[in-house]
A and B are shown apart, each in its own frame.
Chain A
């Protein structure tokens, strides 16, 4: 899955200007002591010098607004003439602290509302010289689902007049996708501290041997990236890496949610941890916790209280794309790109997407979860979809 042959990589522009924007949002909740560094939301803007459509990219689970995947999408879109605004995932700690109105991340509707309000606030305050002619939203992985929900809210409220929404490798059901990742973690890594330690020891030994053979003086970033690619060459190892990355993001979300909701799972609500306190034991204990535990101990208690009449089952049902299924089916401005072998979807979910989107979905044979992002085909199709040139879309 690593390493697209060079001829299949989409051509990108030589230069892309980027500005970092730090945003103070008026609805920010009081910041817990140990999260003092996350008080401003960090987004990135690549502006054209002339009037142009704006593409807003939302990052994947737990990720910031400047990941390597974002950089690829930004390059392609800027090269195609868009202003590009990139936003972190609503599950990224920097978003939860600076922009969330709840502190408990992961709810499709609530996250979309926070994203939508944030987008308005940013666009309202952009320098006048950035002239926007149209707005599209897109996102990869969880960010894809976020993008679709944002557009569905905008369809009701009309404050941004979002034109098209593109989901790249989205989940259909948050809970089943994450359940699959948790299962993957259990099968590829294991579900005990010892199993995690074993994975670490194996990686350490492999990296050390590669480094010893490499004749390099320093262990630099280039080496580490390539070494990771060499170590993760089998599907099983690659899956373990995806599962591990996801779990580490979940650890952050779990801890932060517990702090905000005051659910007292790993923090004492009366005596929250302070700057300078060691958090290693908290991190250690949460490493073993699957998403179902976050759901039952933090997410559900918080949202059941906030939404009278809700049940655990209704919370799970609310976090499915089916909730906006009617819009996805009838509104020709929603698009999907995914892969036949994407591990976050099962067969039923994939066929539901195909049935609902009709011609507005492109399903590639290979690529797994996001493995083909930045490939020639994926980028060309993405640009056609967003430009309204895709067969079956609204014009």
Chain B
């Protein structure tokens, strides 16, 4: 609690204001590095896209082959997603009024408290901040291992175990992400993904206080993740004296890594737009989870998410 107040105070001292203008310094932009990263990303992606089109043409071929009764069913690839499979443009949002108020509350909280604190936090030297980020990332490996086990994705689960062991030891308690440098990049997962893997739909759209856009399934998943971490109470960090301060630091670190600003679109329809995009993103992630096995789709006239 004390550290929360301290952070607040720092944030208030951080800004300066006149009547007409209020000016805050943002982190420096790095256009040269951004250009290089974008080029690398585009190149990496070109490969994936080539694979995708290769795969879909292979599917087309096998469909042709089926019709010609020249069947090879040894590798039953699920068919690609077609436009008819897309969920409707409407989103299932029966709690809209409550959600809209929460969205507004979050926007105000973000502007008044969260972002000023994050802004101040950005002045902490980069290596220290990535240490904090790695530290919390390392703690979450426990939850990832459990969930990969529940999802029966054992290879990924094993990778999480390796990461946790390497980073907790050589990486000095998780402060340094040595594992990624050893070609074991992090791939956190949680109960939300487990529920999705088990075939649960996202369910109703839900704006969670402080956390933001979510769905009923993801909200339950988040609560289960927290309960797991609390239950395991690794290093006695979650129930000990430092838990409050750590909780705040974790929240600030996470917020600093989310490149989203409420109402930066300026649009009166931002709620609708974000809801649309968020739920579609989750549904496409579900498509990825079920890429290997065909599954039943919800009926065509049910709103997206239901």
Residues of A within 8 A of B (CB): 3, 6, 9, 11-25, 34-38, 44-45, 64, 66, 71-72, 74-75, 88, 92-95, 97, 121-122, 125-127, 197-198, 200-202, 204-205, 207-219, 221-223, 225-227, 229-230, 251-252, 255-256, 275-276, 278-280, 282-283
Contacts of B288 in A (CB 8 A): 208, 211-212, 214, 216, 219
Taking a contact as CB atoms under 8 Å apart, the answer to whether A205 and B269 are in contact is no
Contacts of B104 in A (CB 8 A): 36, 275
Of A21, A24, A201, the residue contacting B83 (CB under 8 A) is A201
Contacts of B281 in A (CB 8 A): 219
In the complex, chain B residues 91-107 whose Cβ is within 8 Å of any chain A Cβ: 96-97, 100-101, 104, 107
Residue of A nearest to B41 (CB): A222
Q: List 27 A-B pairs, Cβ < 8 Å.
A: A12-B35, A17-B25, A17-B29, A19-B24, A34-B268, A44-B26, A71-B29, A71-B34, A88-B266, A93-B265, A93-B267, A125-B21, A204-B83, A208-B284, A208-B287, A209-B52, A209-B81, A212-B80, A213-B55, A214-B52, A217-B187, A226-B44, A226-B45, A252-B266, A252-B267, A255-B268, A279-B272
User: Quick check: which of B62-70, B218-226, B240-248, B256-264 contacts chain A, the rest being far away?
Assistant: B256-264
Taking a contact as CB atoms under 8 Å apart, the answer to whether A283 and B80 are in contact is no
Nearest Cβ distance between residue A41 and chain B, in whole angstroms?
10
B3 at the interface (CB under 8 A from A): no
Taking a contact as CB atoms under 8 Å apart, the answer to whether B21 and A230 are in contact is no
Most buried by A among B24, B265, B269: B269
> In terms of DSSP, what is the predominant structure of the interface of chain A?
helix
Residue of B nearest to A127 (CB): B23
Taking a contact as CB atoms under 8 Å apart, the answer to whether B26 and A252 are in contact is no
Decide: A35 near B268, CB < 8 A? Known: A12-B31, A71-B29, A218-B285: yes
B215 at the interface (CB under 8 A from A): no
Residue of B nearest to A72 (CB): B31
A373 CA / B45 CA spacing, docked (Å): 22
A276 CA / B98 CA spacing, docked (Å): 8
Contacts of A24 in B (CB 8 A): 19-20
Of A71, A198, A209, A252, the residue contacting B268 (CB under 8 A) is A252
Besides A11-B32, A22-B22, 9 other CB < 8 A contacts?
Answer: A9-B35, A64-B265, A125-B18, A205-B80, A208-B287, A211-B284, A217-B189, A275-B104, A279-B272
Nearest Cβ distance between residue B239 and chain A, in whole angstroms?
30
Tally chain B residues at the interface, Cβ within 8 Å: 68
Nearest Cβ distance between residue B275 and chain A, in whole angstroms?
9
A322 CA / B214 CA spacing, docked (Å): 51
B271 at the interface (CB under 8 A from A): yes
Taking a contact as CB atoms under 8 Å apart, the answer to whether B81 and A205 are in contact is yes
Taking a contact as CB atoms under 8 Å apart, the answer to whether A219 and B285 are in contact is yes
Contacts of B10 in A (CB 8 A): none
Most buried by A among B82, B89, B188, B268: B268
B30 at the interface (CB under 8 A from A): yes
Nearest Cβ distance between residue B17 and chain A, in whole angstroms?
9
A97 CA / B267 CA spacing, docked (Å): 11
A210 CA / B291 CA spacing, docked (Å): 11
Taking a contact as CB atoms under 8 Å apart, the answer to whether B271 and A279 are in contact is yes
Taking a contact as CB atoms under 8 Å apart, the answer to whether A205 and B83 are in contact is yes
Of A19, A35, A207, the residue contacting B284 (CB under 8 A) is A207
Nearest Cβ distance between residue A299 and chain B, in whole angstroms?
18
Contacts of B82 in A (CB 8 A): 205
Taking a contact as CB atoms under 8 Å apart, the answer to whether A16 and B21 are in contact is no
B162 at the interface (CB under 8 A from A): no
Please give me the 7 A-B residue pairs with the lowest Cβ-Cβ distance, nearest first: A213-B52, A226-B45, A75-B31, A94-B266, A12-B31, A93-B266, A201-B83
Residue of B nearest to A26 (CB): B20
A216 CA / B280 CA spacing, docked (Å): 16
Nearest Cβ distance between residue B34 and chain A, in whole angstroms?
8
Taking a contact as CB atoms under 8 Å apart, the answer to whether B35 and A279 are in contact is no
Contacts of B19 in A (CB 8 A): 24
Of B85, B97, B269, the residue contacting A251 (CB under 8 A) is B269
Most buried by A among B189, B262, B281: B281
B13 at the interface (CB under 8 A from A): no
Contacts of A75 in B (CB 8 A): 29, 31-32
Contacts of A201 in B (CB 8 A): 83-84, 86
A127 CA / B20 CA spacing, docked (Å): 12
Taking a contact as CB atoms under 8 Å apart, the answer to whether B26 and A20 are in contact is yes
Residue of A nearest to B22 (CB): A22
Taking a contact as CB atoms under 8 Å apart, the answer to whether B26 and A19 are in contact is yes
Taking a contact as CB atoms under 8 Å apart, the answer to whether B268 and A279 are in contact is yes
Residue of B nearest to A200 (CB): B89
Nearest Cβ distance between residue B251 and chain A, in whole angstroms?
20
Taking a contact as CB atoms under 8 Å apart, the answer to whether B21 and A21 are in contact is yes
A9 CA / B32 CA spacing, docked (Å): 10
Contacts of B187 in A (CB 8 A): 217
Taking a contact as CB atoms under 8 Å apart, the answer to whether B52 and A93 are in contact is no
A121 CA / B21 CA spacing, docked (Å): 9
A208 CA / B297 CA spacing, docked (Å): 14
Contacts of B21 in A (CB 8 A): 21-23, 122, 125-126
